Each structure stands twice: as structure tokens, then as C-alpha cells.
Amino acid sequence: MTTETDLVPIRRALISVSDKTGLIALAKALAARGVEILSTGGSARALEAAGITVREVSAHSGFPEILDGRVKTLVPQIHGGILGRRDLPAHQAEMAAHGIAPIDLVVVNLYPFEATVARGAAAEDCVENIDIGGPALIRAAAKNHDFVAVLTDPAQYPAAIAEIAANGGLTRADRLRLAGGAYAATAAYDAAIAAWFAREEVFPPRLTLSGVRAETLRYGENPHQQAAFYRSGERPGIATARKVQGKELSYNNLNDTDAAFECVAEFDAPAVVIVKHANPCGVALAEHPAQAWEKALACDPVSAFGGIVALNRPLDGDTAERIAAIFTEVIIAPDADPEARAILARKKNLRLLLTGGLPDPAAPGVLVKSLAGGFLAQTRDNGRVAAADLKIVTKRAPSPREIADLLFAFRVCKHVKSNAIIYAREGATVGIGAGQMSRVDAARIAAWKAAEAAKAAGMAAPLTEGSVAASDAFFPFADGLEAVIAAGATAVIQPGGSLRDAEVIAAADAAGIAMVFTGMRHFRH
């Protein structure tokens, strides 16, 4: 058997690629070493056009391409040349008897199935872009990695070219690493195909997940944890954002930025969301992003320090100047004008991420959370409540202004860890109570933070006076509502559905406040 340092000399290579990035440079490097190149279809034509000598697979195998190209490499002369073991005399004898020449390098990437689906192609086109021969070649080469190297990604070519140029082949350690990547590539490909076939079934009997590593992070939530970031879709946001400036993003930065951008995308009017430790600490709407920033900041200026800022409009110079006045970790927005970029460039460590668009908060999707020995999967919380959905349950109906603020506050609730209570006024949060074990405590903490913000701003009255309040789930007892009333809220929005709804409604009526039920809960854990 081979050892870790054994090189496999490359004498014959099979090249069949859909993505022809880097193809010519690789083939020229192989040809310079006297490697015989076998190829098919478009790859062969591209190589010939570049002046590289290539032998068609059909000429090598003696078997023509058939069935509109569906069968071209699925022949013994190809798979025998890949799978034959060089250390077994019986394999060598059989290969010789059947005129099968060994193949030392397989370079294959697959039909663009995911891209075909993404562009909305017809089902027939999607099926035709399911590669059969490619995965078979990749898996065969990876299985026989003791003697065969396999390249499945143009990003692998430069290192392979350098190694082959220096040593004439690839080490067993290289081949083993490439084999692992090859199986990961075919697994991800099959996962995409399986998901497409199961597209009408939200939770199929076997759920397959795959992602492409975007970067290895310095550490996870804490320095003793390892972490990496994987991309797995095209939803506008953290995975598709372009970093314009700033230092490396951490695990916590990525997590918080995703939370902020998903929240700000909920609103049609210009909005700003400030997030700290995955929870909004300020959310506001206004006619201009700069005004929305000031309103959001006023909710909790202490927590905003070192936070993540998300906008649903392009970042302009005025807004950038205001945000840059305090320490901010990340700003994410659809775009930024030249003045804003110049202003933020003075803050070398501040990360500016531009997405080119906003995610659709109503779009379907599946979220996954790992558990010991498995994982949970659920559809994304894309529920949205409109004014027509509200059920007025108190003697007093909310005013139009209160309804607007109630809907705003309830939409913010969706993005705050449970138990959550939100106080809002004039399109801005004025108090946020997040992640508490008791709903009463969430209401009190939100009111306390609002009082502290008012005191710091030199205001006589607490910010919650005259506000509305939102609860992500029903009040199990009247005490939670009473805490909200004590804070000065005049109207409340909550899902309803408690066994003690009548008791809670009676407490609201006794205080003269308005209350509406949504029939929809927004737990977030």
C-alpha cells in the first residue's frame, strides 16, 4: 500500500467540466508535463480552441456518445481506468486484458442544477441538468484516492498545478483531502436535487442540509469555541452581503447582523434597527433614515453602544455621520452613497455590509436548530398581522394612531427573544423587555429601561407614558397586563388565547385602556 508521502504521477487525466473557470491554465500545466488529456463535449472543444491536444472519450473508449449525450463516460474503459487498483496484480491483469488504461486525475464539476432551478427553468430543463456521469466519475475517483486524484472545484486548480509542476503528482494526503471534498460536493448536489423533488413537501422523511464554507471564524460565541460560516442560499442578507470595509466579522457579529437585517426588512417605511446580543434595543420608523436613527437610539442609548445597525434604505451621508458618532460594530444596508462611504472610511474597524436588496419577510423557508443527537426544523416565522386581523376585545377601541403603533410594536415583538414586551410610541420603540422567564418581569424591565433613558435625556415623564404595548404571547394572568398599565400604556396588542382572557380583559376595561387580540403568537427562542 502507499504511504502518506507517496506521489501518484499524473500520466493521464480525464477532464469534463460545466464551469470552465481556470480550465485552460490547468490543461496547459498538464500538457506541459506530457499528460494525456481525455475529454468530452464542450470541455474538449474549449481545450482544442486553446491549442491543447485532447483525445475525445469516445475515441479512447471505442464507444460513442448516445442518448443525446446522457451516456458518454459510463463505460468500462473509463470507470475501469479510474477504479482499478494499481497494487493488485489481478486488477492490473484484468485491465490489460480488456485494454483499459489507468486514469490518474479526474477533473469534473457538475451540470448547474441549482442555477437552473434558481432561474425558474421548466421542470424538464431542471431534470436535464441533473448530472449522472459526473457524480459517478467523482465518486469513483474519490473511492480510489490511493491511486487517483480528483478535482471538483476551480478553486482547487492553482494548488494542484503548483504541486504537479514541482513533483509531477499529488501526495496521498492531498488526494485524501480532495476525496473528502469530492464526496461533500456530490452530497450537496444530491441534497439540492432531493430538495427540488420534495419542494411540495415542507418536511420530507429525510431532510438533507448542505452549505459552502464562506470563512473560518476566529472563534465562536466564546474564545474557546471553534466556528465557521457557511452559505446555503440566496436570501438577501448576511450570506450575500458585500463587505465594503472593516475588520473581520465574528460569530456574534454575523448572528446579530442577521437578526437586525431580518427585523428591519419587516417595515415598508424607512426604518432603523439597533441590535445588541441578538435582540433589538431600538427600532424606529421615520420619513428619513437619519430621523429613524435618532428615534431608535433614544430607546436605549446605553445598549446601542457597540451594537449592530440595520437600515432598509440606502445609507446616506447625514445618517452615516450620526451613526458614526457612537461606537458601532456593523452597519448593514441595501446600499450606501459615496458620501456615507467616505464618512465611514474614517472608522477603519467598523464593518459596512451592503446587500443590494432586502429579504422578503413573508417568504417561506425552513429554520434548523441542532440538538443533542439531532435537530429541529420549523418553517420561518413569516406571519404578519394587519389591521383587518385585529379583534378588539375591550370596551374602548384603539385610535388610528394607537393601531399604527400596535401593529409596529407587534412586528418588533416577532424579532425579540421571548418572553418579550415592547412599548412603542409614534413609530418607535421606547422600551424593550427581552428574554425573560416571567412576562411580568419583561414588562417591568422594559418600563425601567424606558425610565432610565428618559432620565438620561432630562425628561420629566417616562417614555412609556402614553405608549402602546405589545406582548409576543398571551398574558396568562392579569398581573402582566397590570404591569403594562402601570407603565403608562394606553393600548395593548397580544395574541389572546389564555384560559384567563376574561380576567385580563376585565383588568384592561377597569383601567380604561384598549386591547386587541391577534390570534397569532411570536415566540422566539
| Residues labelled as active-site residues | 143, 277
Element (H, E) at 514: strand 514-517
Three-class secondary structure of residue 126 per DSSP:
helix
- In degrees rounded to 5, what are phi and psi of residue 406? -65, -45
Is the previous residue joined to 349 through a cis bond, with omega within 30 degrees of 0? no
Burial (CB count within 10 angstroms: exposed 0-12, middle 13-18, buried 19+), residue 446: buried
CB count within 10 Å of CB 219 equals 13
Of residues 411, 415, 392, 423, the one with CA closest to residue 489: 423
Three-class secondary structure of residue 413 per DSSP:
helix
CA atoms within 13 A on the CB side of 87: 9
Maximal C-alpha separation, the chain: 96
Beta pairing partners, 517: 391, 494
Please enumerate in sequence order all residues whose Cβ is within 8 A of that of 265, keeping only pairs 6 or more positions apart, or say none. Answer: 312, 358, 359, 360, 361
The conformation of residue 397, written as its DSSP 8-state character, comes to P
